[in-house]
Structure 1
Amino acid sequence: MIDALDETLRQLLIREIPIKNGEVDIAFDQPKREWSARLNRPTLNLFLFDLHENKKLRQTQPMWAIERQPNGTATKRRKETRYDLYYLVTAWATEPDDEHRLLSRSLVALMRQPHLPEELMPEALAGQPLPVPIMVAQEEHFRNQADLWGAMDNEWRPGIPLVITISLDPYQPVTTPLVRTRELSLGPVADPATERLAEANQPDRFWTIGGTVHAEGNLDEIEVKLLEKGQIVSLHPEGRFAIGNLKAGDYTLQVSVKGRKPRQHKITVPAADYDIKV
């Protein structure tokens, strides 16, 4: 992930400054004294000095994003965690004028981009749920310059604080069948340890069923009614519905579409499928 972000920033600076024929090196090293002493050409260095989770952007509810598929399955994905990566951009050259010129061009190039360009992002960064923001030269992002340069045993020089916020999902998506029927049994318990119902007394069984109304038109113009109970069935997004507190047996769902004659659909509880095509 981090190496892919490094390469994206490299390509962004090469394109936007622009850097032609490799006249300026772009590095991602610790700016130690030994490192800077070995430089023999103008160099832009992007030092990653910190990273941590952006807790302000954390989404804990709901924890899972659920995508229902037409084939009767649902894919569950854990909500991504967003991380801030902190870079310090510094310019290194023989003359201060060259350093300032390179630093100013870098600042302008980065300020022109509110987000990382998607066309420069490699496959490892593909599929980000939101545009990847770039925050440039914000004072609160780098307050302890003296400590950093002291740790690097190098001379203090101006730098551009740069913060990139990316999403990371360390979990694999889970695909499972949709629950079509749920059974609730009520009765006396034969074994309290296992909570198993007594077989001598037939328990009361109630069913909750779920299905989908498949329609090409506007769902707001469709009404579904369970005739045996005179109950209007609520339709959720994508035409999904659920009906509870049913006994086993046959039922009739009446589907009314605005401007058309109502149609009746027979269902049996329990069953493997309760979908309706309009």
Structure 2
Amino acid sequence: MFDELEEALRQLLIQEIPITDGEIEIAFDQPKREWSARLSRPTINLFLYDVRENVMLRNYGFPVSDNEGGEANTVLRKRTPLRMDCNFMVTTWATEPADEHRLLADTMLALARYPTLPERLLEGRLAEQPYELRTLLGAHDRLTNVAEIWSSLDNEIRPSVSYQVVVTMDPWRPVVEPTVREMQLRTNGMAPDADGNSTNAETGYTIAGTLRDSRRDGAPVAGARVAIIGTGRYLITGETGRFTFRLSKPGSFRLTAQHPDGTSTERRLSLPNPAGEFDLVL
């Protein structure tokens, strides 16, 4: 992934400065003394010196997605990916200080134009990133001790600027779980009796199901109207054909669905539902 990020930055600088005929070299090396001594032409160097988690973007969760093509009545649950800060030290190298400073300014202007890396430059795993690749030039809390960095590199100190790109790293594998089709929520200041009843209890139910088309081998139906008759409550299904309703009390009710082509179906159900199954089939 880091090599693909470096290639994206290379192409960004080539296009935005711009650089023609390889007149300026773009490198991603440690700027050690022996390295700089070998330079033969003006060079922009982006040294990846630090990679760490972006704690401000940390979001520990386990979102659920549809298990398309998998076992029926199952979903995929997966931990949210990591957001990582890739911190570069940007320097420029030329024979004359004036040329060096001019090149550094051009580089900073090119990088500052894009608060996120353009999609046209993203290839491989970068093109599959779930979030935009945020960038930040010259962060106040980066490169706070440049003298120490240059000392460790055994090179003479020179102007530098920090540049940060936030990438997503996803090491987790999804886990297959059964679909939650009925959920009961009870809020009560007193424990229920032996039969599970309480006069002070407030109970809510959430039902969920999928609308499928028997004419298309049970494929989910998108854009259909699903309603609970007599309540005025309805929704339009998305691409996965899923629908969810919340009911305040148990009892019998009728679910109805109408396909965009006018085909409809109806099903009578009750809550609680021992089978825990609320799918509709056209």
The answer, yes or no, to whether TM exceeds 0.5 is yes
- Listed as ranges, the gaps of 5+ residues in structure 1 are 183-203, 226-230
**2:180 and 2:92 mapped to 1: Cα distance?**
59
The whole-number CA distance in structure 2 between the counterparts of 1:242 and 1:73 is: 21
C-alpha distance in 1 between matches for 2:73 and 2:127: 27
Q: Is the 8 Å Cα contact of residues 181 and 271 (structure 1) preserved in structure 2?
A: no
Task: Provide the secondary structure at the position in 1 that maps to 2:41.
Answer: coil
Counterpart in 1 of 2:58? 58
Q: In the alignment, is the contact (CA less than 8 A) between 1:90 and 1:159 conserved in 2?
A: yes
Aligned-residue Cα RMSD (Å) equals 3.6
- TM superposition shift of 1:127: 2.5
Alignment match, 1:255: 255
Question: Structure 2: 5+ residue runs without aligned partners?
Answer: 184-194, 196-204, 212-220, 259-263
For residues 215-273 of structure 1, the C-alpha deviation after alignment (integer angstroms, 9 at most, x for no partner) is: 74555xx2268xxxxx9999999413589x99xxxx96423689xxx986256965595
Post-superposition shift, 1:174?
A: 3.0
Normalised TM-score (structure 2): 0.71
* Residue identity in the other structure for 1:27: A
Deviates more, 1:233-242 or 1:169-178: 233-242
User: Structure 2 matches for 1:154-193, cutoff 5 A?
Assistant: 154-178=155-179
- Residue from 219, 240, 243 that aligns with 1:239: 243
CA contact (8 A) 1:32 1:153 kept: yes
d(CA) in 2 for partners of 1:257, 1:100: 68
Q: 1:276 — aligned with what?
A: 280
Matched, 1:49 2:49: yes
Give distance in 1, aligned partners of 2:161 and 2:180. 53
Native 8 Å contact 1:252 1:264 kept in 2: no
Q: Is the 8 A contact 1:212 1:240 kept in 2?
A: yes
Q: Structure 1, residues 86-122: CA drift from partner, whole Å, max 9, x if none?
A: 1011001111122112111101100111101111111
Aligned residues: 240
* Cα 1:256/1:101, change in 2 over 3 Å: same
Contact 2:209–2:277 (CA under 8 A) maintained in structure 1: no
Alignment of 1:108-119 (within 5 A): 108-119=109-120
The alignment partner of 1:148 has SS state of helix
Structure 2 match to 1:39: 39
**Matching of residues 211-226 of structure 1 within 5 Å:** 211-212=208-209, 214=211, 216-217=223-224, 222-223=227-228
- Whether contact under 8 Å (1:30, 1:152) holds in the other structure is yes
Aligned residue number for residue 90 of structure 2: 89
Task: Tell me, yes or no, if the aligned pair for 2:90 and 2:163 is still in contact at 8 Å.
Answer: yes
Alpha-carbon distance in 2 for matches of 1:117, 1:73: 36
Mapped pair 1:265 → 2:267: yes
Contact (CA 8 Å) 2:255, 2:268: kept in 1 or not?
no
C-alpha contact (below 8 Å) 2:150/2:157 kept by paired residues:
yes
Report the equivalent of 2:139. 138
Shift of 1:165: 0.9
Cα distance, 1:32 vs structure 2: 0.7
Letter in 2 for 1:2: F
